[in-house]
Amino acid sequence: MVNLGLLSNIYEIWQNSGFAYGVDRVHQQLRRDGTRIGRKRVERLMRGQGWQGAHLRRGWRGGSTKQDPGSRAGTGSGEPPVHRVRTVSATPPGSCAPRACSGSPRFGRLARIK
């Protein structure tokens, strides 16, 4: 009879947690509420009912996100990403004569010095 009362308390705590609390947290909450009970007893009662807390089965490295193997990485619309190349000049536009800047834009000032 005592176990039935404990089971209802355990289930209420477990349900209010969104079925996420495991034995340790349920036991901790029971202690906060003033129920003196051992952790192993809570474990035995929860295991007997098939109740367990939520956990990441693969650990933190694998993550909890389920990936879609058919999707392409990095694209939101399913289209390939567009790569744009930006060219940068070492000299501001119009700062040197066309003959001096005839080479690479990087060495425009060096061409003017010689």
pLDDT in tens, 1-33: 688 889 999 999 999 998 889 999 999 999 999
Cα distance between residue 83 and residue 34, in whole Å: 63
Reported pTM: 0.49
Q: Domain range spanning residue 113? A: 88-114
Cα distance between residue 48 and residue 10, in whole Å: 12
- What does the block give as tokens for 30? 């029971």
Q: Residue 100 falls within a domain, yes or no?
A: yes
Cα distance between residue 51 and residue 62, in whole Å: 24
Q: Residue 57 falls within a domain, yes or no?
A: no
Residue 32 near residue 24 (C-beta atoms within 8 A) = no
CB atoms within 10 A of CB 46: 21
Q: Residue 83 falls within a domain, yes or no?
A: no
Q: Which residues contact 68 (CB under 8 A, 6 or more apart)?
A: none
pLDDT tens digits for range 31-79 = 999 999 999 999 999 999 999 888 766 555 555 566 677 766 655 565 6
| Domain count of the fold of the chain | 2
